[in-house]
Amino acid sequence: MKFFFIFLILLFNCQVSWYHTRVSKNEAKEMPISEAESVLADSGTACFISSIKFQEQELSNESSTKLNSMIDTQFIENIRTNLNLKNSNTKHIKHIYGVPKSWPYLKELKSIRSDKTFERFKQIQNLPIDTHYKKTLIKYAEIADADTYFVTNEDILLSFLEFENCDTYYQLHYTKKEKDNYNVVLFLITLGILPTANYENHYFTVYKRNAFELKPTSITYKFGYRRVLTWLLLPTFNFFNEVENYNKDYRFVDHAKDQFLSAIENKYSQPLPIKHLNPVYGDIIGNMYSSGSDFFKTQIPVDTRYAVIRDGKQNVSFYDPIRGLYKIQVINVNSKINSDIITEGLEKTLKTFITTSLLDKVKKNYPKSAILHEMYTPEYRDGTYTFTLEIAKPEPGNDQFKKEYFVFSCFKSQSQIFLLSRSFPNDTNLGNLSKLSESNILDFYSQITFQSKYIEPKPLDLDIAMNDGKKKSENDTDEDNNNNNNDEEDDEEEENEEELAGGGSVGGESGQIDLGGLFSILKERTHIPRSKLDIKPGRFKFNNARFNPPKMNSSKFHIKPGRTKNFSKPSKWRR
């Protein structure tokens, strides 16, 4: 029997695997990536084009535009914001094609290319048009900016000629996938004497052309792996295995995208180490995050190669050193908020809720913080409150303050309040901070699909309501005091374990806003090495909540080791 287990150990280690990466230009002979020319070496303004097919608003009320599952707009943004291109002139052109020539509001559709502010939604709501067309205009008003072009069916041949102020054009495409196995049947028939081999390839193509040139240059990248398995091989103990097994959360196609992203930024790129993004509650498939509560689904707004992610049941935080902190929170509406909306209106209720639940808590740690710009837009999502928060962080060793800025936006939908926030870079220009806040938060909105739910309100206990919720028995009071003491100790431990881009509170409590991510990014800005993003595994703490089981406080069951013996035989419990 022991020999059988040793045999299994040898079996799992009797394999050899390796990466296979190649590049070819204009369908010529393949060569190693290190021998290829640099794709992004041209001077001038580089324009990356995202092609999106025009679709009218569907009945499902999805707010995000359906994008290509392999090469999406966020993938291109990760290229533009990388340190290698930070000092280069780049533009991201959204090319929306297939607009019907007979679409009745084509002029209004093209007019939303102006400044990206909440004012555009007020203009759309004031149009005397059908509701179906209004929803379509609002859908594209979230993603459209000055570099967005709407092209009709008749103008499709002219769409790839020239755009404004572009010197070099780049189009990125996921071309195909190859996957196969050899000798699987013979491997099973011969009980592993004959080897079996399997491989997987993914092809990405970059179409590049200079301005006023018609014929583009195509550069195709191939990323794959090879694996050979046989029982006749001596145990390798994974010393020669460059390819790891891939799970559902991080498939090989996602790893191939990471390699492709690195290859076009640096021609001497080596395969990146696999980085698993395993949130505690939600799910990640590809570049999409789905919350555990099913309240929202979003594209990951940061570069997944350097991302830190932490989530709760109803909140999530994303962080990378370049794009900063992004956060989504869902707060269940309690009876007090509902009554305030009826008596005082939604606008005043949202402002009061933000002041008491967010601003007052921030001022306890940073007293000189204040709201700079605020606005309420009743035409967007039935009432949206947006504001810019300035936090004055004291500098150690002197009396000066370092100011950092965050934009917040919230709206109510059925029984939930959705709160979005993101940070600004340190070199933000205060002159156009208001417009920058609106455009940046609208970019965030366009990546999220919200799914609110109606929660039946609990009946109000009149005795508790008259006593301001202080009706308790003596036993309950003693037990609550014990719980509070234990909770304070746990809170201190959790604060010490708080991570950058935190937000690990479970969420779902009515009227509570999680400020973990905001406070942690203020307490300690992540150290960015001077070299090109050489962030190593372990530089960030990651998802400790998955490995730290919850503690049971004030439990009525005190299980001792001896009491669990013979647990399956009730007759022996009392012995």
Taking the C-alpha atoms of residue 287 and residue 303, their distance in angstroms, rounded to an integer, is 10
What integer is the mean pLDDT of 121-134?
92
| Residue 457 φ/ψ, nearest 5 degrees | -65, 145
Q: How many CA atoms lie within 13 A of 330 on its CB side?
A: 25
Res 528 pLDDT > 90? no
| Residue 463 neighbours by CB under 8 Å, 6+ apart | 471
For residue 6, give the 3-state DSSP assignment: helix
CATH superfamily of 296-458+497-527: Mog1/PsbP, alpha/beta/alpha sandwich (3.40.1000.10)
> Rounded to 5 degrees, what angle do the CA atoms 224, 79, 532 make?
90
| Largest separation between any pair of C-alpha atoms in the chain | 91
pLDDT of residue 73: 82
Res 229 pLDDT > 90? no
For 356-379, write each residue's pLDDT tens digit: 999 999 998 888 899 999 999 999
Specify whether the backbone of 60 is left (phi greater than 0), alpha (psi in -120 to 50) or beta: alpha
Q: 556: burial class by Cβ within 10 Å (0-12, 13-18, 19+)?
A: exposed
Res 4 pLDDT > 70? no
pLDDT of residue 333: 93
Instruction: Name the band, by pLDDT with cuts 50, 70 and 90, for residue 8.
Output: low
- What percentage of residues in the chain have a pLDDT greater than 90? 36
For 457-475, write each residue's pLDDT tens digit: 766 555 544 455 555 454 5
Taking the C-alpha atoms of residue 187 and residue 139, their distance in angstroms, rounded to an integer, is 54
For residue 179, give the 3-state DSSP assignment: strand
What integer is the mean pLDDT of 96-109?
90
Average pLDDT, the chain: 78
pLDDT of residue 318: 93
pLDDT of residue 42: 84
Res 533 pLDDT > 50? no
Instruction: Name the band, by pLDDT with cuts 50, 70 and 90, for residue 67.
Output: very low
pLDDT of residue 21: 92
Taking the C-alpha atoms of residue 46 and residue 168, their distance in angstroms, rounded to an integer, is 5
Res 320 pLDDT > 70? yes
**pTM more than 0.85:** no
Res 23 pLDDT > 60? yes
Written as one string, the DSSP assignment of 362-408 is: HHHH-TT-EEEEEEEETTSTT-EEEEEEEEEEEPTTSS-EEEEEEEE
- Token pair, residue 533, equals 């993003």
Q: Give domain limits for the chain.
A: 15-271, 296-458+497-527
> Rounded to 5 degrees, what angle do the CA atoms 286, 290, 296 make?
135
pLDDT of residue 571: 45
- Token pair, residue 436, equals 């920058």
Instruction: Name the band, by pLDDT with cuts 50, 70 and 90, for residue 163.
Output: confident
Res 546 pLDDT > 90? no
What integer is the mean pLDDT of 375-389?
95
For 471-496, write each residue's pLDDT tens digit: 545 455 455 555 555 544 444 433 33
Within 10 angstroms of residue 393's Cβ, the number of other Cβ atoms is 17
- 3-state percent breakdown (helix, strand, coil) of the chain, nearest 5: 30, 25, 45
**CA distance to 303, 340, 419, 445, per residue, from 425 (Å):** 16, 36, 20, 19
> Rounded to 5 degrees, what angle do the CA atoms 280, 286, 290 make?
45
